Amino acid sequence: MPSRHVALVALVALVAGVGAAAAGVFLVGGDEQGTPRPGATVEGEPLSGPEVRLSGSDVTTGSRVSLGKLEDRPVVVTVWASWCKGCPGQAEPLRRFAAANVRASILTVDTQENADAARAFLAEHELAVPTIADEDGHIAAKLGVRELPTTIFLTSDHRVASMWEGPTGLGRFKTGLAAARSG
């Protein structure tokens, strides 16, 4: 037979657990608030994600690059760096995708390195795409990048339709672009 002390400790633990669960539901909300019905959206909320604003200097030409200049077309944004282990493997699919999808805008962001390293990477992989320099990583942080490479597919009004972390093959580029076009 358990002692009164063990029973009291068990009862206190049970009450504390129930209290913590109740506080969690109160603070975060129940499932009915966090899980929308299929196809349902909050009134006024876009079907796609938040609008992205992005600009900077192109590492190759020095000219100003911004999403504002890429109006009315889906945009594929890939964030990479030459020191990233997965980035060289994404270069060939990105080059092929860009060549096959001239009606989509392709933009890359080279993060956390200098422009010389970015230019060398672009030349080595024969990538001729606008590339914004992000030497201090603030653009990548603003975009919510947690892993390199990361590819973000934007609708024609520059809202996030899809995002892929890690190397992206040609199939994922096509799927992401389809999501951006329908978003």
Q: pLDDT averaged over consecutive 10-residue blocks of the chain (183 residues)?
A: 55 45 34 32 50 92 91 92 96 95 92 96 96 96 95 94 94 94 86
pLDDT at 17: 46
With contact defined as beta carbons under 8 Å apart, do 41 and 49 qualify? no
**pLDDT confidence of residue 92:** 95
- Nearest CA to 65 out of 113, 127, 134 is that of 134
Are 143 and 162 in contact by the 8 Å Cβ rule? The answer is no
Q: Are 143 and 150 in contact (CB under 8 A)?
A: yes
pLDDT one-digit tens code per residue, 72-115: 889 999 999 999 999 999 999 999 999 999 888 999 999 999 99
Task: List the structure tokens of 167.
Answer: 């190397």
The Cα–Cα gap between 60 and 181 comes to 29
The model's pTM: 0.73
Q: Where are the domains of the chain?
A: 4-34, 55-182
* Structural fold of domain 55-182: Glutaredoxin (3.40.30)
